[in-house]
């Protein structure tokens, strides 16, 4: 399946089959082992990657730059203050220019439509490093971490608690539906996933997607996942969100309810003391640092599968 991904873009995971996603996860595990063993194949040698950032980043930027650079490629960081994207130049025209100069494009920003236009007009693989709608590279790293913790993912239960209509929740819903993982979204009614996304995934889901407003529904989970209560660009809603989401904090009591073998996941950055207590964040059930590292390995796998020869 990996061989069929050459030239493909990763805009979201709806376009990828379960077999393709599993293939990417297998490849990510392989490249992670290569790095642990000290091997550095130069599979991106002579290649270039444009990295467009409208939003700040730690893990996404570092993962793309190191994954591409340590294999001989040349990543070029481009903030919106460096280029004319959507300013004096349309996104379509920027895509045409970058497509003639680079082998691939990464975009992290606001509008999903921007990453779609880049893919449509550049003629090169485009990778969604985060938009307001989706965060597919994060979801791949999340499920890689789940795999490492339990050996397999089919039949597992992942519970996301907090803001259920953000990009992380949306991508988790999709990847869980594709891979046969039961996905529970626990959120206040105002912040539950959009109905059209739920209808879409339920049309192909290999396992159930359940939405609830009751934190007690985390019982019997293999993983409990949360994210910040206020996403980038929504800072003005800090006070309102804090009051709304306080009952959805991940704390020791919730983890105990979830089950004795349940792990804790967070995409980071975290506001410790809000969505998660320090006890859980720093505790023995936490797999957040594995999760953060796995951003690099899953991103490298995606770029190898679409831009180079993974062998």
Residue numbers in the known binding site for L-ornithine are: 167, 227, 231-232
Annotated binding site: 57-60, 84, 108, 135-138, 167, 227, 231-232, 267-268, 295
DSSP conformation letters of 108-121: ESS-HHHHHHHHHH
The active-site residue, picked from 138, 192, 274, 291, is 138
Helix runs in the chain, H state only: 18-36, 59-69, 91-101, 112-122, 136-150, 167-179, 195-202, 238-245, 252-258, 278-281, 288-307
Per annotation, catalytic residue among 12, 43, 135, 241: 135
Question: Which of 108, 147, 241, 266 is labelled catalytic?
Answer: 108
Residues of each annotated binding site for carbamoyl phosphate: 57-60, 84, 108, 135-138, 267-268, 295
- Is 135 known to be catalytic? yes
Does 227 qualify as catalytic in the annotation? yes
Q: Is 196 a catalytic residue?
A: no
DSSP 64-119: HHHHHHTTT-EEEEEETTTS-BTTTB-HHHHHHHHHHH-SEEEEESS-HHHHHHHH
CA end-to-end span of the chain: 13
Residue 266 annotated to the active site: no
Options 103, 142, 163, 227, the catalytic residue:
227
Of 222, 267, 274, 287, which residue is the catalytic one?
267
Q: Which residues are catalytic?
A: 108, 135, 138, 227, 267, 295
């Amino acid at each position: 399946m990996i061989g069929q991904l050459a030239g493909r873009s990763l805009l979201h995971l709806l376009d990828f089959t379960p077999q393709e996603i599993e293939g990417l996860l297998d490849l990510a595990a392989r490249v992670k082992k290569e790095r642990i063993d000290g091997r550095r194949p130069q599979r991106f040698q002579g290649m270039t990657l444009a990295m467009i950032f409208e939003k700040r980043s730690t893990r996404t930027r570092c993962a793309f730059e190191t994954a591409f650079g340590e294999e001989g490629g040349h990543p070029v960081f481009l903030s919106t203050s460096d280029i004319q994207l959507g300013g004096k130049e349309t996104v379509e025209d920027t895509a045409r220019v970058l497509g003639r100069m680079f082998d691939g494009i990464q975009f992290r920003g606001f509008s999903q439509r921007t990453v779609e236009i880049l893919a449509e007009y550049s003629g090169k693989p485009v990778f969604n490093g985060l938009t307001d709608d989706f965060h597919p590279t994060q979801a791949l790293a999340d499920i890689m971490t789940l795999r490492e913790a339990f050996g397999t993912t089919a039949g597992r239960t992942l519970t996301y608690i907090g803001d259920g209509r953000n990009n992380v929740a949306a991508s988790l819903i999709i990847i869980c539906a594709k891979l046969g993982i039961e996905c529970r979204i626990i959120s206040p009614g105002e912040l539950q996933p959009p109905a059209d996304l739920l209808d879409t995934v339920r049309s192909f889901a290999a396992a159930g997607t359940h939405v609830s407003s009751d934190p007690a529904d985390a019982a019997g989970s293999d993983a409990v996942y949360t994210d910040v209560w206020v996403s980038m660009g929504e800072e003005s809603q800090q006070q309102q969100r804090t009051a709304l989401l306080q009952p959805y904090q991940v704390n020791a009591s919730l983890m105990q309810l979830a089950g004795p073998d349940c792990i804790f996941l967070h995409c980071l950055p975290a506001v410790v003391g809000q969505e998660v207590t320090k006890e859980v964040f720093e505790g023995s059930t936490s797999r957040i640092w594995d999760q953060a590292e796995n951003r690099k390995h899953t991103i490298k796998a995606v770029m190898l599968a679409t831009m180079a020869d993974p062998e």
